[in-house]
């Protein structure tokens, strides 16, 4: 079972960069293979970067995480 949570700042300032976090946890008993996480940002947002590096397509970001134990 995969648990995905997003941590966002309580407030952001228009025109300024901000950071948000995506937490991905395997809460099941078995390893999960070929895990990919996708996140779609709101209209008007620009994705600047991510760690780990993901694929950016418009306002969609995706990460291939492989196996999560």
pLDDT tens digit sequence for 18-68: 999 999 999 999 999 999 999 998 888 888 888 899 999 888 999 999 999
- Does the model's pTM come out above 0.85? no
Residues 39, 22 contacting (CB under 8 angstroms): yes
d(C-alpha 27, C-alpha 53), whole Å: 24
* H or E element, residue 55: strand 55-57
Q: What is the pLDDT of residue 49?
A: 86
């Amino acid at each position: 079972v995969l648990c995905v949570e997003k941590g966002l700042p309580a407030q952001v300032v228009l025109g300024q960069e901000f950071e948000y976090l995506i937490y991905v946890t395997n809460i099941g008993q078995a390893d999960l293979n070929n895990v990919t996480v996708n996140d779609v940002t709101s209209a008007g947002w620009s994705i600047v970067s991510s760690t780990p590096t993901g694929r950016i397509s418009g306002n969609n970001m995706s990460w291939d995480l492989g196996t999560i134990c």
